[in-house]
Structure 1
Amino acid sequence: MTTSWGDFEGEAPALAATVRERFGMYRHHVLATLRADGAPRVTGLEAGFGHGELWLGMMPNSRKARDLLRDPRFALHANPGEGAEMEHGDARVSGRAVEVTDPAKLADYAGEQPEGEVPEVFHLFRVDLTEVVRTYLDVPDMCMEVWRPGVPVRTIRRGNDDAPPREEEA
């Protein structure tokens, strides 16, 4: 079963809007992939939304592209921005990157990017979501909204005390 960004929007529209807005605040984000030896690789990446999908575009034969071609699992963390205030919270999506090779889809993607932004040859991946997490402060608690395909959004609240985390469905 694959889960597109559009599927996520249908299941959890409020969380999807908040996470998309958070990714829209900055152009560059942090992608985590797995190297051939299983060690993590963390690199910068531009991600984009369109046609109900979250897209990952990258230079041909880049290490991150080769990582995803070998093992499609990834995590994409929204750029935290300047300072440590985290006023807008934090967002992360995880899943599998599915390579797009259809020339028409590649041309559509390239045509929607600003002129000169996309090289003639590039790797394009469509995101198959397995988890979306938004972390934010609701003083005195740190809160995490967690979504997984087919499961209602749940909120986990952790206080500054020794009490165990509290979980609630949204």
Structure 2
Amino acid sequence: MNWTDFSATEPDLARTVEDRFGAFTHHTLATLRKDGSPRTTGLEVRFLDGELWFGMMPDSLKALDLRRDPRFALQANPGEGQSMGGGDVRIAGRAIEVTDPETKAAYAEEVKPPEPFHLFRTELTEVVRTYVEDEKYLVLQVWKPGQPLRTIKRA
């Protein structure tokens, strides 16, 4: 399921997630190394044309990781201090490399990344938001394709 499908299914959560990622430029991407251990790196993300995109430098380790195993986890930058307005948000899924010249050219026209670059579009497997409500509840919103949004409150 791509970002458009998710946004149509859960528009309020999708808007909150986009706002959290839009609040800062750099976020944390987790990929899997050859040996299966995790690798975390910084990443800029873009929500364009109904997709969540990752652009990367040529032959970066994270790009090579995703070519080998497309699974990823993405954490929004929590920002300075303890505020985290909008809560903590995470996205998991698969990143599919885009090699089509027209799609890459359209992305480059909009984003203006350094050339050459790797481009990945995402397929979502999970979106999670965690926040504090009324200063006493920890609230988790968990979405997975084909399942209703689950909301869990803990005191």
Alignment TM-score, normalising by the size of structure 1: 0.88
Q: List runs of 5+ in structure 1 lacking aligned partners.
A: 160-170
Determine the structure 2 residue equivalent to 1:108.
Answer: 106
Determine the structure 1 residue equivalent to 2:132.
Answer: 137
How many residue pairs get matched? 154
Give the RMSD, CA atoms, in angstroms. Answer: 0.8
Within 5 Å, give how 1:76-115 maps onto structure 2.
Answer: 76-113=74-111
- Among 26, 40, 43, which residue is 1:42 paired with? 40
1:87 shift after superposition: 3.1
DSSP-derived class of the 2:148 partner: strand
DSSP-derived class of the 2:85 partner: coil
1:55 paired with 2:53, answer yes
Instruction: Say which is worse superposed, 83-92 or 51-60, in terms of deviation.
Output: 83-92
What amino acid sits opposite 2:35 in the alignment? D
Determine the structure 1 residue equivalent to 2:69.
Answer: 71
Query: 1:101-139 CA deviation, whole Å, 9 max, x = no partner?
Result: 0000000000001xxx41221000001000000110012
Determine the structure 2 residue equivalent to 1:157.
Answer: 153
Report if the CA contact (8 A) 2:16-2:86 is conserved.
Answer: no
Q: List runs of 5+ in structure 2 lacking aligned partners.
A: none
DSSP-derived class of the 1:85 partner: coil
What amino acid sits opposite 1:125 in the alignment? F
Alignment TM-score, normalising by the size of structure 2: 0.97
Larger radius of gyration: 1
| Identity value in percent | 60
1:152 shift after superposition: 1.1
Cα distance between partner residues in 2 of 1:97 and 1:52: 15
1:85 shift after superposition: 2.9
Cα distance between partner residues in 2 of 1:42 and 1:82: 19
DSSP-derived class of the 1:151 partner: coil
DSSP-derived class of the 1:19 partner: helix
* Structure 1 segments of 4+ aligned residues over 4 angstroms from their partners: none
Determine the structure 2 residue equivalent to 1:9.
Answer: 7
Query: 1:57-110 CA deviation, whole Å, 9 max, x = no partner?
Result: 000100000000000000010000001232331110000000000000000000
1:123 paired with 2:121, answer no
